[in-house]
Every structure is written in structure tokens, then in C-alpha cells.
Amino acid sequence: MPDALMLFQPLKLRGLKTRNRVVISPMCQYSAHDGHLDDWHLVHLGRFAIGGAGIVFTEATAVQKRGRITHGCPGLWADSQIPGHTRVAQFLLRHGAIPAIQLGHAGRKAGTQRPWFGNGPLGEDDFARGEMPWTPVGASAIPVAEGWPVPHELTVAEIQALIADYVSAAHRAREAGYRIVEIHGAHGYLVHSFLSPLSNRRTDAYGGDLKGRMRVALEIAEAIRAAWPQDLPLFFRTSAVDGAPEGWSLDDTVVLARALKAIGVEVMDCSSGGIAGSAMAGGGQKRQPGFQVPYAERVRKEVSMPTMAVGLITHPEQAEGILADGSADLIAIAREALANPNWALHAARDLGHDTTFSAWPEQSGWWLAARERTSEFYKPCGHAAEAR
């Protein structure tokens, strides 16, 4: 077994130690009911823990009811939502993964269609299904794009209430058993809309220069850090670049990362784009394997802060190379895990870290090991097999 593999080395984050560097990124399922998780979420997320990931994130979870992206997005604005999260967190823990949750607010992108219905503003067909719109909120009264609703510009008092709701959601997350909280500050949602000069035209203390535009992000982070147990880590997801002229830049991200590190944020999760249009817009770049890795690399090296790389990282050799090069400390897998929930286990086998199925759950590992011993024609599953 290779000793030098970075992908399967534990990472210590405050009082936690991961079993490896594989993270399942938050992936919206649009399948909650009035903000409550159900069996779909338990099975969807549970399979990634069984599949060997070190950290498994529950999808973006709204801190206010009006902060949902769609009618199908989960929340933690009410105590009644805790039990569904508890089931998920306990299952992940029992199967060796660290349960994590991303807390956020959709801002001016709230109240939209589920993707399979169009991914745009709610319309007549949605109303017929009983999914009625609500007024979104934002840093300024600037819509996402033409034809989208104009958001209500948050007052200072509403901003303070928002911060309090983030803290309340973090308390509920801890009660549910999560061990990591990530603040969603990317993809054009509320926190990102304060950061970007393209969506923040305020003239008060929460707008104007970089310091003013960072204020909401930093105040939320500071408030959660004070409320979150000191032995548990706090992450922040950023859109490292807007990918638009005069928008948020990588230089700005470095400044933000330094300020977040001073507050006590452990990991910068580096994504990009989404300030206008799709939340998955890749910052104006051609979407190619590892296209966002340079963002994580720069923050890691200039801020001396752990980072998580995300975005078209699909093969074990690719993930290992990112870590070995010092570009990031964690590898976030998203859609590839939808295609292969056992990605981490296959990666361990393909890279020679686990050749005996010892890392697999015993309910399946012993079967697979026996098959290999007795089958003359056995071929390993996973990427290495595909390459043969």
C-alpha cells in the first residue's frame, strides 16, 4: 500500500480528524417538504458515507423560509426541521463520515423553479402546482437578469435579523449532530450579492468599498464562530471570481480569506461564478477538468489557509495530483458521486491504497474480496478498470 498518497491521509481540523480528503460537496435535491428532509435525503446522503467519503455535506439549507432557492429546498429556520437532519447526521457518523451542512440564503435567486421545471422565475405552470412566488431580498434592488423579480433591498435592521437567524440555524445544526458548518457565500446567493460590486450598490456601511461589501460575510462568520463549538471547524464557500468585468476578483477573494481566517474560519471552499444567471456558471471560464483549482491554490499559498478544490474533479489520479502539488487540502466531489456513490472506495482501490476491500462496509467487502479470490476473470471496478 503506497504510504505517500495524500488523498487517504487524515486531515485534522480543530477537534476533528477526517478519514481521508474526499468531500461530498453540497448538491441541491429540490425534494424537501416545507423545508423538512425526508427519506430521500437519508438515502441520498447515506450512500456517500457507505461509499467511503471523509466528509459528507447536506445541501444548501436555508436559514429563513424566504431564503430557499425553490419550494423544494431544506431549511433550519424551525425546530421541527431538526429531526430530519438528525437522522442524516447520525447515519453519516455511524458509517465513518463527518456530517457537515451548508447554511445559506438564496437572496435575489430565491423562489425559483426546480431545475426540471425550467430553473427560472416561477410562472403559471408552477402556480398550478401550488408553488407560489414570494418577494426575494438582496443587497440592492437589482434583479438577477431581465425578467426576474426585483428584490427588496435589505434594511440594516433586516440584516441584523438575518445574522441572528444564521446563528439560530447553526445552533439547530449542532443539535442535529453536524460537526462542520459551511457558510454559502457563492453562486450569486445572498452573501455573494453583498460581496460583488455588480449586485451591491449600497451607500451605507454594507456597501461601497471592499470593506463595506465584505461586512455581511464577516459579521455572519464572526457570529457563527462565536456560537459554534470551538473544537468544531467552520468553512466558507466563495465564488472566487465573478468572471465578469468589474466584478468580484481573485484578489478580492484573497483579502476576504485573510479576514475570515482571522475570525476563525478553517477552510476556504473555492468555487466561482453565478452572480448572474445559473448558479453553476463557471466564472466566465471554459469548464474543463479542475478549472477552479487555481483559485484554491492561490488562497492556500497566499493566505496559508486550508482550501477545498471543487469543479470537474472526476478521477482519483487527478484528485491525488491536486493534493500532492499543494494546490488544496480537500477534494470536493459532486456530480461524479451521483454517478458513482462509491467514488472514494474505488479511488482507494484504483490507487493501490486498499487492494483487499478492507475499507468497504463489511456487509459488501467480504463478498467482493471472496469474488476476487475465486473468479479467474475478475476485473476491479472503477476508473482504473475503465482505463484498461
Alpha carbon 174 to its chain's center: 17
Q: Which residues, in sequence order, are CB contacts of 37 under 8 Å at separation 6+?
A: 58, 74, 81, 84, 85, 87, 88
Over residues 257-279, the mean pLDDT reads: 91
* pLDDT in the model for residue 385: 47
| Mean pLDDT value across the chain | 94
Over residues 49-54, the mean pLDDT reads: 98
End-to-end CA distance of the chain: 21
Q: Cell numbers 487492494 correspond to what residue? A: 355
| pLDDT band with cut points at 50, 70 and 90 for residue 383 | low
**Residue 210 confidence (pLDDT) above 80:** yes
* pLDDT in the model for residue 3: 57
Over residues 283-309, the mean pLDDT reads: 90
Q: Cell numbers 438528525 correspond to what residue? A: 86
Beta-strand runs (E) in the chain: 12-13, 16-17, 22-24, 55-62, 98-104, 137-138, 152-153, 180-185, 234-239, 267-271, 307-310, 330-333
Over residues 292-301, the mean pLDDT reads: 98
**Residue 69 confidence (pLDDT) above 70:** yes
How far is the C-alpha of 214 from the C-alpha of 202, rounded, in Å?
Answer: 12
| pLDDT band with cut points at 50, 70 and 90 for residue 379 | low
Helix-, strand-, coil-residue percentages of the chain, each rounded to 5: 40, 15, 45
pTM of the predicted protein model: 0.94
How far is the C-alpha of 201 from the C-alpha of 196, rounded, in Å?
Answer: 9
Q: State the catalytic residues.
A: 189
| pLDDT band with cut points at 50, 70 and 90 for residue 277 | low
Q: Which residue has the higher pLDDT, 243 or 158?
A: 158
pLDDT tens-digit series, residues 20-47: 999 999 999 999 999 999 999 999 999 9
Q: Is 214 helix (H, G, I), strand (E, B) or coil?
A: helix
**Residue 388 confidence (pLDDT) above 50:** no
**Residue 382 confidence (pLDDT) above 70:** no
| pLDDT band with cut points at 50, 70 and 90 for residue 4 | confident
**Residue 211 confidence (pLDDT) above 60:** yes
What domains sit in the chain, N to C, each tagged with a CATH number?
12-361 (3.20.20.70)
| pLDDT band with cut points at 50, 70 and 90 for residue 284 | low
Burial class (CB in 10 A: 0-12, 13-18, 19+), 229: exposed
- pLDDT above 90 as % of the chain: 91
- Amino acid identity of residue 162, one-letter, is L
What are the grid coordinates assigned to 37, written together? Answer: 428532509
| pLDDT band with cut points at 50, 70 and 90 for residue 152 | very high
Over residues 70-75, the mean pLDDT reads: 98
pLDDT tens-digit series, residues 351-364: 999 999 999 999 99
Number of neighbours of residue 169 by Cβ within 10 angstroms: 27
pLDDT tens-digit series, residues 109-147: 999 999 999 999 999 999 999 999 999 999 999 999 999
**Residue 226 confidence (pLDDT) above 90:** yes
**Residue 2 confidence (pLDDT) above 90:** no
What are the grid coordinates assigned to 22, written together? Answer: 474526499
**Residue 380 confidence (pLDDT) above 70:** no
Over residues 299-312, the mean pLDDT reads: 97
* pLDDT in the model for residue 373: 86
**Residue 206 confidence (pLDDT) above 90:** yes
Number of neighbours of residue 302 by Cβ within 10 angstroms: 14
Over residues 291-307, the mean pLDDT reads: 97
Burial class (CB in 10 A: 0-12, 13-18, 19+), 70: buried
| pLDDT band with cut points at 50, 70 and 90 for residue 387 | very low
**Residue 287 confidence (pLDDT) above 60:** yes
Over residues 55-70, the mean pLDDT reads: 98
Over residues 315-328, the mean pLDDT reads: 97
Over residues 78-88, the mean pLDDT reads: 98
How far is the C-alpha of 269 from the C-alpha of 214, rounded, in Å?
Answer: 17
**Residue 209 confidence (pLDDT) above 80:** yes
Q: Are 170 and 187 in contact (CB under 8 A)?
A: no
> What are the distances in angstroms from CA 237 to CA 33, 60, 172?
25, 11, 20
Exposure string for 361-377, b = 16+ CB within 10 A, e = fewer: beeebeebeeeeeeeee
**Residue 386 confidence (pLDDT) above 60:** no
